[in-house]
Amino acid sequence: MNIVIVYSHPSQNSYTYQILEQLKKALLQKAWSVEVSDLYAMNFKSDMTEQEYDREAFAKVDLPVAHDVLEEHKKIQRADCIIFLYPVWWSDCPAKLKGWFDRVYTVGFAYKQSGRLPGMKIVKYGVALCTAGYPNDVLKEMGIAQSMETVMLDDRFGKRFEHKEMIILGGTLNPAELKQSHTDQISELVRKIERLNW
């Protein structure tokens, strides 16, 4: 089993980093292969160049795809499961991760170019795993949990993933109260990955 974690947080002193460590430990205990794209540590470039814009906007598929983007494509093609782990910032993922979608989801790979199917495989399981300051019930009352789910699962994951879900680890402003519940949700996620019919 090959798991890719696309991780987006700038600080190792963060709660999100603690979740990353916990998640990696639990996945490695199953003897699965775990590959992490640590976007800040890699200094992943999140803004498009003019040439990249031209390629995407006008489907100029003969223009080259950047090396760092091709490396991400290879990770996707190797993955059975991709987990996007990030903090909620202004009701979405950090700009660094948004830029990953902008640049990595190239035309011809993640979406169709006329008359041809996209090259990206259908990944068995996709998970958007995010930490959030607001508790989950507040995010639901505000409609933000639903909007984040629509954008991540319906649009960014779309039909590119066979199974998909969003897990919001909310209430991180009072982590002591919710830490156990978050730990349990990570364990449950690992069990779910194990239970999928591979």
Ligand X SMILES: Cc1cc2nc3c(=O)[nH]c(=O)nc-3n(C[C@H](O)[C@H](O)[C@H](O)COP(=O)(O)O)c2cc1C
Point out which residues bind ligand X (CB under 6 A).
Answer: 9, 14-16, 87-91, 131-134, 172
Compute the least distance from the CB of residue 119 to ligand X, in Å: 34
Q: CA geometry: angle at 112 spanning 107 and 115, to 5°?
A: 125
Residue nearest to ligand X (CB): 133
Query: Which CB sits closer to ligand X, 134 or 157?
Result: 134
Torsion of CA 96, 182, 32, 125, to 10 degrees: -60
Residue pair 120/79 in contact (Cβ under 8 Å)? The answer is no
Separation CA 133–CA 116 (nearest Å): 42
Compute the least distance from the CB of residue 10 to ligand X, in Å: 9
Query: Which CB sits closer to ligand X, 14 or 113?
Result: 14
The token pair that represents 186 in the structure block:
């990570």
Query: Which CB sits closer to ligand X, 91 or 113?
Result: 91
Compute the least distance from the CB of residue 13 to ligand X, in Å: 7
- Judge residue 5's burial from the number of C-beta atoms within 10 Å of its C-beta, 0-12 exposed, 13-18 middle, 19 or more buried: buried
Compute the least distance from the CB of residue 93 to ligand X, in Å: 10
Query: Which CB sits closer to ligand X, 40 or 89?
Result: 89
